[in-house]
Amino acid sequence: MSDTLPVLYSFRRCPYAMRARLALHASGLAYEHREVVLKNKPAHMLALSPKGTVPVLWLRAAAGDQVLEQSLDIVLWALHQHDPLGWLPGTEAAMADALALIGHNDGPFKQQLDRYKYPNRSGLASGVADRDAAALWLHTLDARLRSQPFLTGDRFGLADAAIAPFVRQYAHTDPGWFAQQSWLALAAWLAAFEASALFEAIMHKHAPWQDGQGS
């Protein structure tokens, strides 16, 4: 493995790490994948990013290393290096729209998703109230997808890649309930994402990386 390639510390099922891998794969950039065991995080990753969450992208360069600790920063970095599929919105207004969707996903929706999926962690007997609150936003996404194939237009792009892993996590929390809801366009969009070659490519299993395998 080249000692100049970017290094991505990742965890297969983490939706934040998924979005980073999606963008890196779409960009076509070569990088080194280091799979993390969350209960035994590599010391090197923690030295780079003491917050201890994935993904972390380590950019190695003669002019000085750089560490990207936020998934959206990794996504935008990768796509600004190379965007052969045209995922980046073409206008300021379109970019603002995409970032607003991602902002709601990463803020209110993710908080509701966590409380729905893990109610006990928040001292709740049930996550149903948060499930239903989150569903209100998913219905707005469904409305978009009834009028266009993807969240911001006619092709899969930044907003789809950034949001789909989180909608997937929501859907898989109670698949039977999710399937009974009226968001047919949203469900079809999610199913197409999960069946895509892109999703298959970023979900390959990797052996856990351990300190000492590289630096």
Kindly give, in sequence order, each residue whose CB lies less than 8 Å from that of residue 90, ignoring residues fewer than 6 positions away.
none
User: Above 70 in pLDDT, residue 142?
Assistant: yes
pLDDT digits (tens, 9 = 90+) for 22-63: 999 999 999 999 999 999 999 999 999 999 999 999 999 866
Q: Name the DSSP class of 153.
A: B
Angle, in degrees to the nearest 10, between helices 158-173 and 184-194: 100
Among residues 31, 46, 45, 32, which one has the least CA distance to residue 78? 31
Kindly give, in sequence order, each residue whose CB lies less than 8 Å from that of residue 11, ignoring residues fewer than 6 positions away.
17, 35, 36, 38, 54, 55
pLDDT digits (tens, 9 = 90+) for 52-95: 999 999 999 866 789 999 999 999 999 999 999 999 999 999 99
User: Above 60 in pLDDT, residue 151?
Assistant: yes
